[in-house]
Every structure is written in structure tokens, then in C-alpha cells.
Amino acid sequence: MKDTPLAPSLPTGPETDDARGARLDWWCDARFGMFLHWGLYSLLGRGEWVMACEGIRPGEYERLADRFVPGPDAPRRWAALARQAGMRYVVLTTKHHDGFCLFDSALTAYCAPKRAAGRDLVLEFVEAVRAAGLRVGLYYSLMDWHHPDTAKAATEEAARRRLVDYTHGQLRELLTNYGPIDILWYDSPSPLDARGWEADRMNDMALALQPHIVLNDRNGLPGDFTTFERQIPQGANGRPWEACMTTNESWGYREADDWWKSPKELVGQLVTCVRNGGNYLLNVGPRADGSVPAFSR
């Protein structure tokens, strides 16, 4: 698969309303998806913000990559669980704020294939989700606590240029190395705004490489749909929208969590989202080995 990247299909002009509607049609009809927060933080079991919340230095945190060796069947189990629940798409954190990449990147050695896992975990995810007949979504955090230029990018142009080139380069890898991708789910644009990230160019590249992709609004631009985190709106001014929700109190695996939403509450949230015209993206935080906590199943 990696030897046959998609050829760019460059836009020929502004997208028409009809063309955009056709591109979004499946997504607006899907209504229900699975969100997966999974990475090095899953080893510690204290949530996806553990590096920042506990002040773990990048060099110390990076050593977790030498212990992160997931089981080989996890993506197939996730896909089966999603299908059983009636979900239509699955979104995986390919790189969270800690900067560790689950995919094979030529731009860094801080990625799963070059550390203990020794495998492209995004490739395994994409293949499993496609085989289950579900749509594929890739989450990518623009914020990166591991990249040395993050702290300087807002004030030093050379640092901004390096960080932007790195980020655009990794997005290009994600959108060329895995066949058709249905959703690109940006997150956390800090420390730059849309202009600093060159977000117009970012979105143009995404649509050139994946003409049928759907983009969210978290790179500083409106994108194709509005994202609501842990809240369900009455509507979103006529725009397509999605509410992303947790099953407990965290996104990444938290071993000490003892409060979980009941099935009745989760079904109620799904019904409310659909009734209000939006999508419901329900999160699962697998353990480091890829297994799903019992209360999330």
C-alpha cells in the first residue's frame, strides 16, 4: 500500500455547494462514530494529558516508546466493536499532543515503526477499519509538546517555519500512504493561529490529495463541520456538526477511573445528537496493549 500513494488531484476552482454537499453526504448520514485515544500515555494509565499535567520532561517521557508494544489484533477488535454498536466510522489519534506518531514518518524517529513497536500502527488500523466496512478517520494534533520549535514558533519566524513544514509534511504522509481517508480530524492549534499554520494551504493540500475527505474545524478554519467537545448543541447555525464525548472522565486510558456513563445515558446522548441533526463521536481509551476496558464495551 505504501508504494502506491494517491496522485494529487489539484482543485480547479472554488468548490460548488453541490460538490461540497456530495462530499459530505455520507458523513451527515453516518450519525455515529468511534473515537480512539491511544498512545504512549496509555502505558501510564493517567490520561492523555499526563505529560503536561505531571511535568514529565520530553526526554523522560520519550522512553515510554521503548515499552509500547501493542498486541497485533487490537484494531480488528476495535472495528468489530464499532460495527456491533452500529457505528459508521472510526477516528484514531495518529499523533496526540505528546508528539509520538503511531504512523511511519520520514520526518522523525519518534514513531512506532522506529521504536519498540516496530510496526506501522496506523496502517494496521486503516486496514482493519476498511475490512469491517467502516469509514476511516485520522486525528492529528497540531500542538506538539515534543517538537523543539513549539515553544518558539509564535515569536520566532525560523522556528515557525520549521514547525509548519514538519506538520504539513506529516499530514502529507498520512494522506498519501494509506489509500483513501474519509476524515481528517485536526486538534489543538496552539501555539499558532490559522494564518501561522498556513491552514488554507493545509486544507487545500488535504483536498488535493484526498478529494472526498471531510475536514473538521480545529486548525483555525471553519472546515466542513463544527466540533463540540463534551457538549451537545441544539444546532449549529445550519452547519454540519459533531459532538465528541467520553464514556468516563478522560479521553486516554485512566486506570483509576471509577465513574462511567450508563448505557442509558450514552444512548440518550446519541438520540439527542441525531434528533438535533448532528453526529455523535463516542470515545474509547484502550489500554497500551490495545484492549478495551470492560465499561467501554
pTM recorded for the entire structure: 0.94
Question: Is 21:28 a contact under the CB 8 Å cutoff?
Answer: no
Within 8 A by CB and 6+ apart from 17, the residues are: none
pLDDT tens per residue across span 276-286: 999 999 999 99
The residue whose grid cell reads 477499519 is 129
Residue 132, burial from CB neighbour count under 10 angstroms (0-12, 13-18, 19+): middle
For residues 196 and 256, which has the higher predicted lDDT (pLDDT)? 196
204 pLDDT tier (thresholds 50, 70, 90):
very high
Spatial separation of the C-alpha atoms in residues 108 and 66, rounded to whole Å:
15
pLDDT at 190: 96
Domains annotated for the chain, with CATH where assigned, are 17-296 (3.20.20.80)
Instruction: Give CA–CA dist 2/76, Å, rounded.
Output: 20
Residues 185, 139 contacting (CB under 8 angstroms): yes
